[in-house]
Structure 1
Amino acid sequence: MKKWLAVVLACLMLAGLVAGCGSQEKAADKPAAFTPSKNTEFIVPYAPGGGSDLFARILADIIQKNKFADEALMIVNKPGGAGAVGDAYTFSKKGDNHVITAYVSGQMTSNLMNKTAVSYDKLTPIVNLALDEYLLGVLAGNYKAFDELLAAAKAAPNEITIGGSGKGTEDELCVGLLNRHTGARFKYVPFNSSGEVMSAMLGGHIKAGIFNPNECNAQIAAGKVATIGGFGVKRLASVFKDTPTFGELGYQEVVFQQFRGIAGPPDMSPAAVKFWVEAFRKATQTAQWQQDYLAKNSLTEHFLEPEAFKKFLGEENQKYADILNDIAAQ
């Protein structure tokens, strides 16, 4: 009897050991959760004061103010090469979970045009948060509608000038789309900034300009400028409520919106990516983001998680390459 009890107890102990080993194996298979253990570098590949800088700073402020991360996000501006310098820095931080970067359309066009070393697919896609809108503006009273400007361009190819901030930027892609799908030949004139574009248009040196909403809303409110076409998928509110989209005007493929997202270095851990996705998701649900950023600057909310963002980036890259090829062929 005692011998039988001893055998039973031994079997029970062995079963317990096996179960314990199994649970340890399961625990080992489960990836450890990530939370920042030190300050995170939030790279802005452009100079202070620009759109990407504002984007990063308001996100960092929201995340720290609401304690969505225990450690601080430190804004680090690395301008140069139309985003190439900042992208190269982020790429060099392979496997670092404490480095993230603002990633926008301009960095993609810079890579396509200048054949820079770091393309979009060499970084880790984390999340897209918003779309920045584009509008075609003219002096108030010069052209009452886009059809008038289009007729002028068709009557005088390469003479109707549209200004934009820089060569190979999103502004030039917008003009390239117009040329590609309307049958006209507008002449793109690059400037160093949207402020210079506005000054040139107000001075009568160019016929029209490409603007983000916050770059022209004051002049529209003052009655000096009118917007005659929007590159988004739906009309904007406030002073832009009467501006039709190009889709409404019959040009369904004339759509361009600047994406504003976040990427990380190569080989960022899945746990870190998951942490940052959730931190930014919480940030976009705050009133500060919705009112002080999106509504104030007329941006469109467009939240994409890593896989959807990766797919989106591939589609945008092909779209930009096609437009740039058209521009080069003109």
Structure 2
Amino acid sequence: MFRLLQYALSNRLSTMMPWLLILGAALCVCIGCSDGTSTSAYPNRDIRLIVPFSPGGESDGFARLISNAIREHNLLDVSLYIENKGGAGATIGSREVKDADPDGYTMLILHEAMMTAQVSGKADYGPDAFTPVAASGKISMVIAVSEKSSFQSLGDLMEESAKRPEQLIFAANLGAPVHYAGLILESYEKGSRFRYTQTGGGADRFAAVKGRHADVSAFSFGEYIRYKDGGLRALAIFAEERNPKAQDIPTAKEQGYPFVHSNMHFWWFPKGTPQSHVDLMSGVIQQALKVPEVQETLDKLLCEPVFIDGREMKSEIRHRLASMQRVSAEDRTELPDIPFWVGLVTLGCFALVILEAFNKPSGIEDQASDDS
């Protein structure tokens, strides 16, 4: 009887084995699909958004505006938290994103400094090292001087720059869009050459122009509106036509310098990020731009709430790169960062004083020598 039962069970198991294997394989697939790394589960943890500038600037403010809208209106199940990684013309932060895992959990927001850094040689990579997500917000640029400056028009400034090449100081963030605004302007006035000084962000450039440490600089329209009452005078706006909210500022074009330029905030993922992740975040950014509070804030900053997705963004990037490649930032004498060098010299003098104090024999040492 026992042998008969054993034979029956063995025969039954051999018949069921193929079905058990199929069931096991299906179970493994189901478990794999429920894993946190699945595309369908994205995102299942917070997403880090790197702003490659210090807190308080325009890029930082724009990033926080979008991040807050996403959180307050539940546009994502997770947070889009901001991490500021400023320095080296935005290349410290952009390089970190470039080298990050392409898993959709590290993003970058960076305007065309991505391109200017490559064209100027400050970075050995450019847009091709990233996956474009979206472009959002369009804001014109303004060229401005101190309200005490003798320059009353863009023509006055450019003619003087041609008469005295490399004598007028242009406060810039070298390799960034502001720097290229100056270079492109030069290309419209024969013999014109500014002397560029590494100054930094909008607040630093404003301080340099206001304090007459620099003759001129360029600002985003939002920056200009923020600082104009502090002592700035706009000479021109780089737009097709005058802005309805600043009709007193003439365009560069109407003054004989057909330079039209606007800045946009570009969103990037590391190269190789799944397209499904890119599309999802692109859609979230687009939704955030439609939030009434966001549109109200952008309107105050004179920033158009435009949006283009990653595919269209590639065409925009090509167009901007072609414009930048008309000029070259090479072979140009640049003034040093004055505060940096003053600080360095002061530190060196302080170190020499300390060394001299250490090397000078003390009275105790003299007495010890005499006693010996």
TM-score clears 0.5: yes
Determine if the alignment matches structure 1 residue 321 to structure 2 residue 328. Answer: no
Determine if the alignment matches structure 1 residue 163 to structure 2 residue 163. Answer: no
What TM-score, normalized by structure 2, do the two folds share?
A: 0.71
The residue matched to 1:183 in structure 2 has which SS? coil
Per-residue deviation at 1:163?
A: 2.4
Give, in whole Å, the separation in 2 of the partners of 1:84 and 1:145.
34
Query: Structure 1 residues 196 and 36 mapped into 2: Cα distance closer, same or farther (>3 Å)?
Result: closer
Determine if the alignment matches structure 1 residue 307 to structure 2 residue 315. Answer: no
Counterpart for residue 235 of structure 1:
242
Give, in whole Å, the separation in 1 of the partners of 2:124 and 2:100.
15
Give, in whole Å, the separation in 1 of the partners of 2:237 and 2:191.
17
Question: What are the residue-to-residue correspondences of 1:104-253 with 2, within 5 Å?
Answer: 104-114=111-121, 116-140=123-147, 142-164=150-172, 166-190=173-197, 191-221=199-229, 224-238=231-245, 240-252=246-258
Per-residue deviation at 1:310?
A: 1.1
User: Does structure 2 retain, via aligned residues, the 8 Å contact 1:181–1:251?
Assistant: yes
Counterpart for residue 60 of structure 2:
53
Give the counterpart letter for 2:300 in structure 1.
Answer: K
Q: How many residues align?
A: 294
Per-residue deviation at 1:213?
A: 2.6
Counterpart for residue 273 of structure 2:
268
1:115-153 deviations in whole A, cap 9, x for unaligned? 534421111101000223211112336233222223333
Query: Structure 1 residues 158 and 45 mapped into 2: Cα distance closer, same or farther (>3 Å)?
Result: closer
Counterpart for residue 260 of structure 2:
255
1:40 aligned residue (47, 51, 56)? 47
The residue matched to 1:71 in structure 2 has which SS? coil
User: Does structure 2 retain, via aligned residues, the 8 Å contact 1:34–1:275?
Assistant: no
Counterpart for residue 79 of structure 2:
72
The residue matched to 2:165 in structure 1 has which SS? coil
Question: Which range moved further: 183-192 or 256-265?
Answer: 183-192
Give the counterpart letter for 1:250 in structure 2.
Answer: G
Tell which has more relative contact order, 1 or 2 (C-alpha 8 A, sep 6+): 1
Query: Structure 1 residues 67 and 317 mapped into 2: Cα distance closer, same or farther (>3 Å)?
Result: same
Unpaired segments ≥5 residues, structure 2: 1-37, 334-372
Of structures 1 and 2, the larger Rg is shown by 2
Determine if the alignment matches structure 1 residue 284 to structure 2 residue 292. Answer: no
1:208-247 deviations in whole A, cap 9, x for unaligned? 222223333255346x332111123332343x32111112
Q: Supply the RMSD in Å over aligned alpha carbons.
A: 2.5
1:52-81 deviations in whole A, cap 9, x for unaligned? 221211111101111111111121222333
Query: Structure 1 residues 73 and 295 mapped into 2: Cα distance closer, same or farther (>3 Å)?
Result: same
Per-residue deviation at 1:32?
A: 6.6
Give, in whole Å, the separation in 2 of the partners of 1:205 and 1:76.
32
- Aligned residues with identical type, % of pairs: 18
Question: What are the residue-to-residue correspondences of 1:94-113 with 2, within 5 Å?
Answer: 94-113=101-120
Give, in whole Å, the separation in 1 of the partners of 2:50 and 2:279.
19
Give the counterpart letter for 1:321 in structure 2.
Answer: Q
Counterpart for residue 370 of structure 2:
none
Unpaired segments ≥5 residues, structure 1: 1-30
The residue matched to 1:264 in structure 2 has which SS? strand
